[in-house]
Amino acid sequence: MQGTSSAAPRKRSRSLAHDLVTELTQRILLGKLGPGDKLPSESEIVREQGVSRTVVREAISRLQASGLVETRHGIGTFVLERSKPQASLRLNVETALSVRDILELRLGLESQAVALAARRRTQEQLEAMRRALDDYQDALAGEQSCVEADRRFHLLIAEATGNPYFQEIMRHLGDAIIPRNRIGSVERAGVDLTRHGYLANLEHEAILGAIRRQDPDAARAAMWTHLTNSRERLAPDE
């Protein structure tokens, strides 16, 4: 019994530190704390977040390791200037071959993101995903572009992970995450993009259903199926 009671606080401490890292990281990535800004003092964070000094120190240590902040002894902890990865992540998706490549990247990234989203999503996020798919269906019915709604749905999944890095990477990928309307006209000759849009949205509904049920395994499988099918619909045989 003694061993059981002593293990629980350590687990709780790690969880609190993780939550604090997520909170501070989001402030930095969303610009609430900019380069050169000083983080609240240790005692201020303790009061604000209701955590111990040990938790604050562990969280600051993780932020330092990730390169987001630096601590100047006797002065405080400051946000560092972040490198800008946009140039390396802005992808030119103009051929079926490049579509295959970006979908292979998304298979790994979004399969994990959707599993996290299924566990962590809020009711508000679930409702926003529902609206995105309703807008997608309306656009298809009106023979209009559904790319914006499609992209929004996938970005909402990244947001629902609660991990700001998923959000940032998806934003940096930009329009490349929905590449079907950017394939060259010669390569898409004979391809029924409207039919592909309807099939994709059936797959979206399966993803949303798993997120609603908070079933991470089903969500991961549905996302894997969706992106694999998208690759087969839009990319050449390997």
State pLDDT tens for residues 59-72. 898 888 778 889 88
CATH 2.40.30.130 at 2-79, yes or no = no
Distance of CA 236 to the CA centre of its chain: 28
The parts of the chain modelled with pLDDT lower than 50 are: 1-11, 85-96, 181-191, 236, 238
Question: pLDDT tens for residues 198-218?
Answer: 899 999 999 999 999 999 999
pLDDT at 193: 61
**Inter-residue contact 207 to 222 (CB < 8 Å):** yes
At residue 165, the pLDDT reads 85
The CA-CA-CA angle for residues 188, 193, 196, to 5°, reads: 120
Question: Which pLDDT score, from 0 to 100, does residue 175 have?
Answer: 57
User: What's the pLDDT at 171?
Assistant: 78
Rounded to the nearest 5 degrees, what angle is found at the Cα of 237, between the Cα atoms of 236 and 238?
115
Domain ranges of the chain: 2-79, 86-234
DSSP output for 123-149: HHHHHHHHHHHHHHHHHHHTT---HHH
Distance between CA 169 and CA 129 in Å, rounded? 19
pTM for the structure as a whole: 0.59
User: What is d(CA 63, CA 57) in angstroms, rounded to the nearest whole number?
Assistant: 10
pLDDT of residue 207: 97
CATH of domain 86-234: 1.20.120.530
Confidence (pLDDT) at 172: 75
pLDDT (0 to 100) of residue 7: 40
